[in-house]
C-alpha cells in the first residue's frame, strides 16, 4: 500500500507539472485580468472594499502601488519572496506567470506552495494611479464541505480496506502456517498427520497436493523399509544355508553322496546370491539414472526367438509346447535391457506352468507401437497377488519360487525397463487358468 501510494503520488506530481501547472497559471491569469479590467472600468469603485470582497470568496491578493507600498487582502503568505524586479516589471505593464514558472518541485510545494512567488501578476490603474496585483487561490477556502465529505469517505474506505486486508492476510497465513508445520513433520519422517484445510482456492489445491505427496512419501518410506527387510532376509537365508552345509562338510565321517548333495546345495545358494546381487545392481542402475538406455535399432523378432532358444532345454525337460506368432519387427531401444524383460516374462511362464503345459509368445507391429504377449496356462493369480506382482521381492507363490530360485525382482525390473522405453506392461490372470503379460512399446 505504501509503495502504490508513493507511485501514485509521483505519477500525479509528474502529470501536474507537465499538464496542470500551465493550465492553472492561465486560469488564474484570466481571473486576475478580469479583476483588473473590472477595476479599470469603474471609476467610482471603492478599491479596498472590492479587493476585500474578492479575498473573501477564496483568493489571496497582494497589491503594490507605485510607491512600493504593499497591501495584503486575505490570508497572509507563508513566504514573501517576491523580488523588486518582478514588481517593477508588473508596474511597467508586463504580466507575471509565477505559477507556470515555479521550479518543478514536488506536488506539495507546487500547487499547494503558499509563497508570494507562486502567484500571477497583472497591472491595473485606479484613480490615476498604477498598481501591481498578485493573485493566487486560497487553498484553505477551496476545501468545501464536499471535499471534507469525500476526504472522510476515502479515509474510511482506506481503514476498512486495511482491516479487510488484515483479515484476508490472516486467512491466507493460517493455512500456510499449518502447511509449514506439516512440512517440518515430513522432514522428520512423520507422515501420519492430516491437514484440516478445506478450501477451493490455490491454497486448498496446494494443501491437497501436499497431502497426496505425504501419502506417497509414506508409502515410499514403507516400501523402502520393506525393501531393506526383504534384502536382508533374502541374503540371510542363503548365507545361513551355505554356513550350515559348509559346517556339515567338515564332518570326516560324511559319505561321498552326502558330500556331493551338500556341495550342490552350497553351489545353488551361491548362484542364488549371485543372481540376487546382479538384479539389485541392475535395479539401482535403473533407479538412479533417468535414461540409462543405449538405444539402437535392432530386430526385435530375432531377439525374442533367441530368448526362446535359451530356454529350449527347459521346455524339453518339462515336455512343454511353445507356440510363437512373431512378425518381423525393427525396433529402436536398448536391446540389453529389453532382453531382461523377455527373459523374466518367459522364465515366469515356465516356472508357473506344469509339465506338459503350453506357452504362447506373440509379437505384432501396430500403428505407433509394437505389442509383445507372453501367455501361459499355469497356476494363475488372484486379485491380491495381481496387485503386488510388480513390488520388489514379492513372490506370488513363495514355496514354488524357492524351489525355482526366484528373487522376486524380475517383474519389477521388467516394469522399470518398459517404463524407461515409454511403454506399458499389463497383466491378465485368473487363478488356476493362467497368466498373460502384455507389453506395449512405442516406436520412435
The answer for residues whose C-beta is within 8 angstroms of residue 210's C-beta and 6 or more apart is 179, 182, 183, 195
CA distance 294 to 332: 10
pLDDT value of residue 93: 92
The C-alpha cell at 432 is 488356476
| Other beta carbons less than 10 A from residue 379's beta carbon | 19
- Predicted confidence at residue 230, as pLDDT, reads 65
CATH 3.30.450 fits 2-142, yes or no: yes
Predicted pLDDT of residue 174: 82
Distance CA 243, CA 417 (A): 35
pLDDT at 139: 78
What distances in angstroms separate CA 96 from CA 47, 55, 444, one per listed residue?
21, 19, 84
The answer to whether 195 touches 211, Cβ cutoff 8 Å, is: yes
> Tens digit of pLDDT per residue, the chain (444 long)?
788 878 887 887 777 777 778 888 899 999 999 999 999 998 888 999 999 999 888 899 999 999 999 999 988 888 888 899 999 999 999 999 988 887 765 554 556 778 898 899 999 999 889 999 999 988 776 666 666 777 788 889 989 988 998 898 888 888 888 888 888 888 877 777 677 777 777 888 888 888 888 888 887 777 777 767 766 766 777 788 888 888 888 888 888 888 898 898 888 888 878 877 776 776 666 655 555 678 899 999 999 999 999 888 888 888 899 999 999 999 999 898 898 899 889 988 988 888 989 999 999 999 999 999 999 988 888 887 887 788 766 655 544 444 444 556 778 888 888 988 899 999 999 888 899 999 999 987
CATH assignment of 292-442, given 1.10.3720.10, 3.30.1450.10, 3.30.565.10, 3.40.47.10? Answer: 3.30.565.10
Inter-CA distances, 260 with 129, 246, 269, 278, 405, Å: 143, 12, 14, 27, 19
pLDDT at 48: 92
Q: Are strands 321-326 and 296-299 parallel, antiparallel or unpaired?
A: unpaired
Q: Which three cell numbers stand for residue 152?
A: 472522510
Where in the chain are the domains? 2-142, 147-221, 292-442
Other beta carbons within 10 Å of 31: 17
**Could you count the other beta carbons within 10 Å of the beta carbon of residue 367?**
5
* pLDDT at residue 285, as a whole number: 62
Amino acid at each position: 500500500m505504501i509503495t502504490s501510494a508513493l507511485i501514485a503520488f509521483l505519477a500525479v506530481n509528474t502529470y501536474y507539472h507537465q499538464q496542470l501547472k500551465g493550465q492553472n497559471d492561465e486560469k488564474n491569469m484570466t481571473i486576475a485580468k478580469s479583476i483588473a479590467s473590472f477595476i479599470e472600468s469603474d471609476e467610482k469603485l471603492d478599491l479596498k472594499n472590492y479587493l476585500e470582497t474578492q479575498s473573501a470568496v477564496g483568493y489571496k491578493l497582494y497589491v503594490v502601488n507605485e510607491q512600493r507600498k504593499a497591501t495584503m487582502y486575505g490570508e497572509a503568505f507563508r513566504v514573501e519572496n517576491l523580488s523588486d524586479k518582478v514588481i517593477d516589471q508588473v508596474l511597467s505593464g508586463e504580466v507575471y506567470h509565477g505559477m507556470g514558472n515555479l521550479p518543478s518541485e514536488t506536488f506539495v510545494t507546487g500547487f499547494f506552495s503558499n509563497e508570494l512567488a507562486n502567484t500571477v501578476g497583472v497591472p491595473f490603474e485606479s484613480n490615476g494611479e498604477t498598481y501591481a496585483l498578485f493573485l493566487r487561490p486560497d487553498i484553505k477556502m477551496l476545501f468545501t464541505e464536499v471535499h471534507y465529505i469525500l476526504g472522510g469517505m476515502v479515509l474510511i474506505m482506506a481503514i476498512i480496506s486495511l482491516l479487510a486486508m488484515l483479515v484476508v492476510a490472516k486467512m491466507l497465513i493460517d493455512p500456510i502456517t499449518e502447511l509449514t508445520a506439516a512440512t517440518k513433520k515430513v522432514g522428520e519422517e512423520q507422515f501420519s498427520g492430516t491437514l484440516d484445510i478445506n478450501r477451493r482456492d490455490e491454497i486448498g489445491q496446494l494443501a491437497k497436493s501436499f497431502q497426496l505427496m505425504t501419502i506417497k512419501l509414506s508409502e515410499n518410506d514403507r516400501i523402502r523399509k520393506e525393501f531393506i527387510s526383504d534384502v536382508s532376509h533374502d541374503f540371510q537365508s542363503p548365507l545361513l544355508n551355505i554356513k550350515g552345509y559348509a559346517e556339515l562338510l567338515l564332518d570326516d565321517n560324511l559319505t561321498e553322496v552326502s558330500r556331493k548333495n551338500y556341495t550342490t546345495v552350497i553351489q545353488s545358494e551361491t548362484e542364488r546370491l549371485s543372481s540376487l546381487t546382479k538384479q539389485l545392481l541392475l535395479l539401482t542402475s535403473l533407479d538412479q539414472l533417468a535414461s540409462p538406455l543405449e538405444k539402437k535399432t535392432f530386430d526385435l523378432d530375432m531377439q525374442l526367438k533367441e530368448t526362446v532358444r535359451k530356454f529350449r532345454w527347459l521346455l524339453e525337460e518339462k515336455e512343454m509346447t511353445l507356440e510363437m506368432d512373431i512378425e518381423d519387427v525393427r525396433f529402436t531401444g536398448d536391446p540389453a535391457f529389453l532382453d531382461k524383460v523377455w527373459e523374466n516374462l518367459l522364465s515366469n511362464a515356465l516356472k508357473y506352468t506344469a509339465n506338459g503345459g503350453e506357452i504362447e509368445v506373440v509379437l505384432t507391429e501396430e500403428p505407433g507401437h509394437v505389442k509383445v504377449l507372453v501367455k501361459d496356462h499355469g497356476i494363475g493369480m488372484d486379485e491380491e497377488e495381481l496387485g503386488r506382482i510388480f513390488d520388489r521381492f514379492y513372490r506370488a507363490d513363495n514355496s514354488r519360487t524357492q524351489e525355482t530360485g526366484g528373487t522376486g525382482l524380475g517383474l519389477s525390473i521388467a516394469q522399470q525397463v518398459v517404463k524407461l522405453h515409454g511403454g506399458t506392461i499389463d497383466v491378465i490372470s485368473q487363478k488356476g487358468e493362467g497368466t498373460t503379460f502384455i507389453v506395449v512399446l512405442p516406436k520412435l
